[in-house]
Amino acid sequence: MPKTHVISYAALLSRVENIFKRVGVRPDSARAVARVIVDGERDNCKSHGIYRIEGCLRVLAAGKVEPDAEPEIRDLGKSVIEVDARGGFSNPAFYAAKDVLVTRARSHGIAALVIRDCLHFSALWHDVEALAEEGIASLSMCPSYSFVAPAGGKEPLLGTNPFAFGWPRQGEHPYVFDFATSVAARGEIELHRRAGKLIPEGWAVDRDGKPTTDPEAALDGAMLTFGGHKGSAISTMVELLSGAMLGEFMSKEALDFMGGTDLLPRHGALILALDPNTFAANSGRDPIAEGERLLSAIGAQGARLPSERRFTARRKAMRDGIVLSDAEMAQLDQFEAT
Ligand code: NDP
Ligand code: PYC
């Protein structure tokens, strides 16, 4: 039985925050980055949990992310709000602009947050869940690196382009889904490689375009979109809306800019925020109650809602602590010592 360690959420958060502060990340940013990483670990989202610390430190050491960047909000009182991350991490930029976005969505019914020039490594559920907790529905998306072949092609061109949706619920965790538009996130393939495990069939092709279950060959070849042409179209939409439309990098340009996949990508991100009460105002119906009818009918069939696994993992981690492997704990110790 491999040795494991149990650590409380607060202790892990503080350790991860200090790792980033020690390498010069501005305290607000260190906290925001540590939060999204530790929340991922807490919710058993391993592909965007503490495994990501190493990648963040690598990009900091390479000087390709600004550790002390202060996000700059550009708000002209319209429905589109911009926050320039100024080459810093996306997470502090989102949190700097979140309250303005919520206020604007409530006053205009719909508002968009454009995040410019950010280093983006994290899961998107974090942001849409935070908005849903304020009663705001949202869609969030960003490009990544061109790891993924469009359906019908075999050359990497599209990003793993995550897409997330959050919907507020009364007295329940919000309804949240968040997925890569590739069959799996790149981080999942990397975790299989590290564990010496094969990946499932249908995730990727090798550099000759042949199906592969070897994670090394997959990382060297092209990942595939989920749902064939449907995922390919959604991924293309993500490139267009959060790359081309914003005048920020698309996934291919992001890769060319960094010059390789060893470093995490820098590009923009788009979050659309909608106030359900504004949209339903003339209908005489309560949108949250209507939504509840659908969500409980899904549950009544025995189907689970997206994020339920995460919320269950969260409850357990907050009650019993977060379980880390010996290797993960040793790596944390090492990050603190160097
Ligand atoms: P998964 O395939 O693991 O999960 C996708 C979604 O589907 C989750 O909301 C999940 O909920 C839900 N889900 C899974 N199984 C079921 C089921 N049986 N019934 C109902 N719902 C289900 O995610 P991916 O591997 O595609 O992506 C992982 C993460 O990677 C995401 O958080 C994404 O944001 C991130 N990512 C980030 C990128 C970036 O550039 N920053 C790029 C690509 C991905 P649950 O969690 O509860 O299982
Ligand atoms: O897991 O695909 C991924 C990913 C890319 C950038 C951050 N995460």
Cα 195 to middle of ligand 1, angstroms: 20
How confident is the model at residue 34, as a pLDDT?
Answer: 98
Cα 280 to middle of ligand 2, angstroms: 36
* 145 closest CA partner among 315, 291, 266, 35: 266
The answer to whether the beta carbons of residues 164 and 156 sit under 8 Å apart is no
How confident is the model at residue 316, as a pLDDT?
Answer: 98
Cα 216 to middle of ligand 1, angstroms: 22
Ligand 1: residue whose CA is nearest its atom 18: 304
How confident is the model at residue 237, as a pLDDT?
Answer: 98
The answer to whether the beta carbons of residues 189 and 245 sit under 8 Å apart is no
How confident is the model at residue 152, as a pLDDT?
Answer: 95
How confident is the model at residue 49, as a pLDDT?
Answer: 96
pLDDT higher than 80, residue 264: yes
Residues 187-206, mean pLDDT to the nearest whole number = 95
CATH code reported for the domain at 72-182+225-306? 3.30.1370.60
pLDDT tens digits along 223-236: 999 999 999 999 99
Cα 335 to middle of ligand 1, angstroms: 27
pLDDT higher than 80, residue 1: no
Measuring CA to CA, how many Å separate 179 from each of 62, 81, 122, 124, 142? 29, 25, 12, 8, 11
- 48 touches ligand 1 (CB under 6 Å): yes
Run of H or E including 148: none
Which atom from ligand 1 is nearest to the alpha carbon of 124? Answer: 34
How confident is the model at residue 284, as a pLDDT?
Answer: 96
What confidence category does residue 13 fall into, taking pLDDT thresholds of 50, 70 and 90? very high
Pocket (CB within 6 angstroms of ligand 2):
47, 121, 144, 160, 180, 185-187, 265
Q: Which ligand is nearest to the CA of 178?
A: 1
Ligand 1: residue whose CA is nearest its atom 5: 179
Q: Tokens standing for 256?
A: 């060319």
Phi-psi label, residue 117: left if phi above 0, alpha if psi -120 to 50, beta otherwise: left
Cα 279 to middle of ligand 1, angstroms: 28
pLDDT tens digits along 59-69: 999 999 999 99
What does residue 102 show for φ and ψ, rounded to 5 degrees?
Answer: -65, -45
Cα 310 to middle of ligand 1, angstroms: 10
What confidence category does residue 260 fall into, taking pLDDT thresholds of 50, 70 and 90? confident
Q: Which ligand is nearest to the CA of 264?
A: 2
The answer to whether the beta carbons of residues 76 and 64 sit under 8 Å apart is no
pLDDT tens digits along 119-162: 999 999 999 999 999 999 999 999 999 999 999 998 999 999 99
Please give the share of the chain, as a percent, with pLDDT higher than 90: 97
How confident is the model at residue 338, as a pLDDT?
Answer: 81
Domain boundaries, the chain: 1-61+307-338, 72-182+225-306
Ligand 1: residue whose CA is nearest its atom 37: 123
pLDDT higher than 90, residue 83: yes
Residues 169-174, mean pLDDT to the nearest whole number = 95
Structurally, what CATH architecture does the domain formed by 1-61+307-338 represent? Orthogonal Bundle (1.10)
- 158 touches ligand 1 (CB under 6 Å): no
Pocket test for ligand 1, best of 175, 242, 309, 316 (most atoms within 8 A of CB): 309
Q: Tokens standing for 303?
A: 């189907």
12-45 b/e (C-beta count within 10 Å ≥ 16 → b): bbebbbebbbeeebbeebbbbbbbbbbbbbbbbb
Q: Which ligand is nearest to the CA of 123?
A: 1
Compute the distance between CA of residue 217 and CA of residue 220 in angstroms, rounded to an integer. Answer: 5
Active site residues: 47-48, 188
> pTM of the entire structure?
0.96
Measuring CA to CA, how many Å separate 16 from each of 32, 82, 170, 299? 11, 29, 32, 36
What does residue 253 show for φ and ψ, rounded to 5 degrees?
Answer: -70, -35
How confident is the model at residue 261, as a pLDDT?
Answer: 87
Mean pLDDT of the chain: 97
How many CA atoms are closer than 13 Å to the CA of 63, on its beta-carbon side?
Answer: 0
The answer to whether the beta carbons of residues 306 and 164 sit under 8 Å apart is no
Pocket test for ligand 2, best of 140, 163, 183, 186 (most atoms within 8 A of CB): 186
Residues 246-254, mean pLDDT to the nearest whole number = 98
How confident is the model at residue 259, as a pLDDT?
Answer: 87
Which amino acid, 54? E
